[in-house]
Structure 1
Amino acid sequence: MKNIALVINAFHKNKVEATNLSTLQLAKELNSRGHNTIIVTDHKPNLPERETINGVKVYRIKMPFTDKINKLLFTLTGIKKVEKSENIKFDVIHGFSSSPLLATRTIIGKPLQKVKRIHTLKSKTKYSKTYLASPILNLLSKVTLGSKSIEEVITKYGTSKSKIKYINSHIDLNKFKTKSKNKSKNKKVVLFYGPLADRKGYKYLVDIIPRFKDNTLFIFLCKHSEAFKENKKKIDKQLKNQTNYKIILDEKNLIDYLSEAHITVFPYPNLDATESNPLSVIESMAMGIPTITSKLPETQELFRNRKDILFSKPKNSIDLYNKVSELLTNKELQNNLSKNGKSRAKDFDVKLITDKYLELY
């Protein structure tokens, strides 16, 4: 048995964000195998300093600094606090972030003591200047990545290639199973889900809606975000004469909506600050739903165009319209993407990915 600290910032109980959910999934899987896994995060107002979520202990570390400094340094005292409270010694400190600078948290927990230090860079960071901190990644046991595009940047700024290990992000395949539910024969359902945020590219899908008749229904299944109300107003204004779309704020019934969808569309402009292995895409594929996403360096590493998935040009509403139209009418393409996509998604199962992390621990 190993004592494992999973280090992440802004772990909110009700924040439905990919990195938070996947961290909790990993902790649960590790615990199911007999390990003692604890999530260590920074303190947030109105949230308890200690609680248990789905059987996983979560410690939120309070420090007397600004939020930005706390986010960087909370493990300096936090790891020792948890060890003392739990009467344990951590064998592994595994941190998660987009920015290399935030690997500082993984390094300064239990300084100068023998412990495995793993850090996962989940995506490209939108704070490009923090790549100057890439040399500190050489102080870790390993850095795990899901994309070569991240490796290109961090090695350019000084991270040794010998420190890098490729491990994909994960999903719970037991949750994302094909559900026997009759899809509407009268309407074709096109589903987008995630935050209604510019970085998700929803506006490119909005642009094409007027070109479809009422027998195609576009559903935007949204997670709560600061921009939700404002962006919903913009969409409603742009589509004021349209009746073939719905914007739904629902974070609990994703599987039901996926089961009704004929296709899913994720038109990312880029994957900065979004997981380099986009989990929404993989979840959709796992359920056998024909999926469209943007042709980006990261997605081209993961998927085969017209075999696993259908690519559209990023930031290009005309091409997106053509791809959505094609996929809705091409049964052979639908069947191929459904079958191959479902098979490809198995490579991202949390059980398989946990095996790979345990090899590093």
Structure 2
Amino acid sequence: MEATDVWTLTSTALVLIMTPGLALFYGGLVRVRSVVNMMLFSVSAMGMVGVLWILFGYSMSVFGEGDGWFAGSPLRDFGLAHTDPSEFIGVGFGAVFAMITTALISGAIADRVGLGSWVLFAGIWASLVYFPVAAWVWGGGWISKLGVWLGTPDVIDLAGGTAIHINAGAAALALALVVGKRRDFAPGAHRPHSIPLVTIGAALLWFGWIGFNAGLATEAGTAGLILINTLGAPAAAIMGWLAVDTLRGRKPGVVGAASGAVAGLVAITPAAANLSPAFALLLGALAGAACAVAIEWKFRLGFDDSLDVVGLHLVAGVLGTVYLGFFALSDGLFTGGDSGLLLVQVISVVGVVLYSFVVSLVIALGVKLTTGLRVPQSVEDSGIDAAAHGETAYALEGSDRT
């Protein structure tokens, strides 16, 4: 086995641990009475999407002879029956990306959706949205061909600014709108129950993100640039977020710092191999500051994105993808290129946002008609964990806290 295969295998393990890390991050952010439900959303996404990826997701994400522009055929290689085992490391690497992308969406619906409704949504969404969009970006689809068609540089999306973060963020917005607001939705009404869990979850995400961004790097110089940028951008984003909080007169906290790190990681995802370290630091600082402001807009606009999937992943994903049009090595508008790269970056962003939002909205409405989607108000009030799962996050002697 070649060294590159060993590194991709290792990176697959790194990315795999990110979804349990996300479960801890999200679990710490919700109230204690819905921790089990929230963490199950991430774990169940691993189960559902992992099965679908092996059955037909991988086949859909790679265009083959005779496939159209939308997605590869799900029947061409059903169950990986015709895939050479030597390719299975790459198949597994793609699987863990599909898992965490779907799990990201669940943060928008904390405290009020049943597990069955979520699993149904997750399976349909992965099939109709994630697998096709992955094909557009990495499988030879229309986004990967924009540069050839328009005579510009190719779209740059190293590890999923469009396919993962913008895709999940747009879906989260659609799902949150269909589910509706929590009854006590208001600034300050929902406080994280465990900051240590949030910190551990953020640490695991950052740890795994090295493999996320650099898993397919084959040269030391490229891998080193990705590593430095994956360290630098979230570091700068932490400072950007804390600076905004300080300027607004707020007391800086660990949740803000952890959220800033995630914002920086999201922003650098498409760009880690194509920015100088200095421009990566600038991107991180901008992402931290922008997302710190963006998460407040859900209250002004009236949609209940519980754990700020839109404010973090959609905003930072758009910022990181478009930023490349200005500052990408050699081809950015301000780094020796012209407006061509900026054009195709913007087109790719708009295409994924529109497709993901519209299809996710239809899927969510369909699930709502089928299952009701939202748990009864009495379950929300009493605590979804005990009522729906028969478990509580903490078995504390004599405690009745909710």
Normalised to the residue count of structure 2, the TM-score between the two structures is 0.27
- Which structure is richer in relative contact order (CA contacts within 8 A, separation 6 or more)? 2
Whichever structure has more strand as a proportion of its residues is 1
> Higher helix fraction: Structure 1 or Structure 2?
2
- Provide the TM-score with structure 1 as the length reference: 0.29
